[in-house]
Structure 1
Amino acid sequence: MATLVAIGYPDETTATAASLEARRLAKDLIIQPDAIATIIRDREGKFHVTTTHHPVGAGATWGMFWGFLFGLLFFVPFFGMAVGAGMGALMGKMTKGAINKEFQDQVRDLVKPGTSALFLVIERSTPDKAVEAMSQFGGTVLKSSLSKETEAELQEALHGEKSAAEV
């Protein structure tokens, strides 16, 4: 089961510093490097999103996932991206409850003007291990599990393949 982790910080800079550590951890295979994103909400309320996405199977990207997620959470536009059929189906699924409504509300409350947040999708290690590694930055940690079904759909949309759990 994959876990979506959001760690909110009370300033505009800590999420960026934490993302650098998360990328370092990615090299140690604790977190996938493409499954990391930061969002900064400046004092005027404008959102600034940073991802480290690269194209993956079937032309889909983690960037598309992050674009959708941030659009769902913060009504940030989808960055003008084209959506394929597989990602469109995933978006429909996620909109209908794959990402817990309570989690969505908590994240919205967390990311106020003048704050930032680090987002991670953790598939291959325990979320607690990754969160512990990020604890040096403090912050408020929120987690939402993605069901096996949603995880499989996410894998298929992003990588063009079924997850090991489905095979």
Structure 2
Amino acid sequence: MSDLIVIVYPNETKAEEVRQRLLELQKEYIIKLGDAVIATKTEEGKVKLNQLFNATATGAVSGSFWGMLIGILFLNPLVGLALGATSGALGGALTDVGINDAFMRDLSTSIEPGNGALFVLVQEMTADKVLKEIQGFGGVVLKTSLDETKEQVLRDALLQASAASA
């Protein structure tokens, strides 16, 4: 079962630093991420999501390949390429993997403009090692699906880092 953790940082840059550190930890097999998205809110109140990968572009590339392959079989590779890219892009745009975009946009309306909210879907982790790596970045826990004890440990560690930097 996956856990959702949402931590708010003072800016998008700080949230990106933490996301990059988590991706490095994933390469070391300390954490396994299902998704990691940064949400920011503009002064006008519009929420922007910074996804790890673009599903529309990925769908277009894979669709182009399969469309061209099918087009070669039916002696019209350019039409196959165009139809494959279009259908792949459409399929990618309609596919929402990881954390639900509508949920992230809704929750991000509560953050201050300029802040960066890091949404992390954790599939597996060695909690003490991950916490040790990210506690120096500070941040405020906005929401988690962790049990109360683990959530409080996370809140306390981030609070210590915030107090030390202030």
With the shorter chain as reference, the TM-score category is 0.5 to 0.7
Partner letter of residue 65 of structure 1? G
**TM-superposed deviation, 1:46:** 2.3
TM-score normalised by L of structure 2: 0.52
Instruction: Show the 5 A alignment for 1:1-167.
Output: 1-53=1-53, 63-66=96-99, 68=100, 70-75=101-106, 108-109=109-110, 111-141=111-141, 142-145=143-146
User: Structure 1 vs Structure 2: percent identity of aligned residues?
Assistant: 26
Q: Which runs of 5+ in 1 are unaligned?
A: 76-103, 147-167
Q: Is the 8 A contact 2:33 2:122 kept in 1?
A: no
**TM-superposed deviation, 1:29:** 1.5
Bigger relative contact order, structure 1 or 2 (CA pairs below 8 A, ≥6 apart): 1
Q: Is the 8 A contact 1:35 1:62 kept in 2?
A: no
- What do residues 34-69 of structure 1 show as CA deviations (whole Å, max 9, x unaligned)? 5222112233322221222478xxx99995333x2x
Tell me whether 114-123 or 28-37 shows the greater mean CA deviation. Answer: 28-37
**TM-superposed deviation, 1:2:** 2.3
More helix by share: 2
Q: CA RMSD of the aligned region, Å?
A: 3.2
Question: May I ask how many residue pairs the two structures share in their alignment?
Answer: 110
Quick one: structure 1 residues 52 and 116, their matched pair in 2 at CA, closer, same or farther if it must change by over 3 Å?
same
The structure with the largest alpha-carbon Rg is 2
Q: Which runs of 5+ in 2 are unaligned?
A: 59-90, 148-166
Quick one: structure 1 residues 108 and 31, their matched pair in 2 at CA, closer, same or farther if it must change by over 3 Å?
farther
Find the aligned partners of 2:36 and 2:135 in 1 and give their Cα distance: 16
